[in-house]
Amino acid sequence: MNRKRKELIVSALNNGTVIDHIPPERVFQVIRILGLDQTGKQVYFGTNLESKKYGRKGIIKISDTYFENEEINKIALVAPSATLIEIHDFEVVRKTHVVIPETIEKIVKCFNPNCITNKELISTRFHVIYDENGLLKLVCHYCEKNTSKANFVFV
């Protein structure tokens, strides 16, 4: 009996992190903001994969890499539906959903060119709000200007 193979097997991670449930249009942005395009580690990614929960999704697997809160906050800002899965010795040791914090520090530039954070060595700080349409915006702690998701520039 001749069966056609219906899936491609990607080698399992011995140690590292899987970022799952990324909106497909955000996969390359997540790769860039985490610097994974510059890493010497193995990185596997897929986009427009079938997902029962979301219809389509993206996934990134990074060997021997675990993320700190600052990096997790970056992921949350661009892919709030993402799940982080930490793997040690081929076993899942932790699975968490990213959460957008109430305050974002040091990871996004202020959109206002006259803001003190763009003129002096002061770290950025934003308060997370949602507008009347439920869209995420960042309000600068210093100049109080709003920055929409489309204008996020990661530091």
Separation of first and last alpha carbons in the chain: 56
Please tell me whether residues 28 and 93 are part of one structural domain.
yes
Please tell me whether residues 62 and 123 are part of one structural domain.
no
Residue type, 78: V
Alpha-carbon distance of 16 to 14, in angstroms, equals: 7
Please tell me whether residues 83 and 109 are part of one structural domain.
no
Please tell me whether residues 107 and 93 are part of one structural domain.
no
Paired sense of beta strands 16-22 and 83-88, if any = antiparallel
pTM score above 0.75: yes
One pLDDT digit (tens) per residue for the chain, 155 residues: 555 666 656 678 899 999 999 999 999 999 999 999 999 999 999 999 988 888 899 999 999 999 999 999 999 999 999 999 999 999 999 999 999 999 999 999 999 999 999 999 999 999 999 999 999 999 999 999 999 988 899 98
Residue 130 sits in which domain range? 103-151
Asked if 83 contacts 19 with a C-beta cutoff of 8 angstroms, the reply is: yes
Please tell me whether residues 35 and 80 are part of one structural domain.
yes
3-state secondary structure of 42: coil
Asked if 98 contacts 83 with a C-beta cutoff of 8 angstroms, the reply is: yes
Please tell me whether residues 92 and 115 are part of one structural domain.
no
Closest-CA residue to 63 (of 92, 88, 82, 38): 88
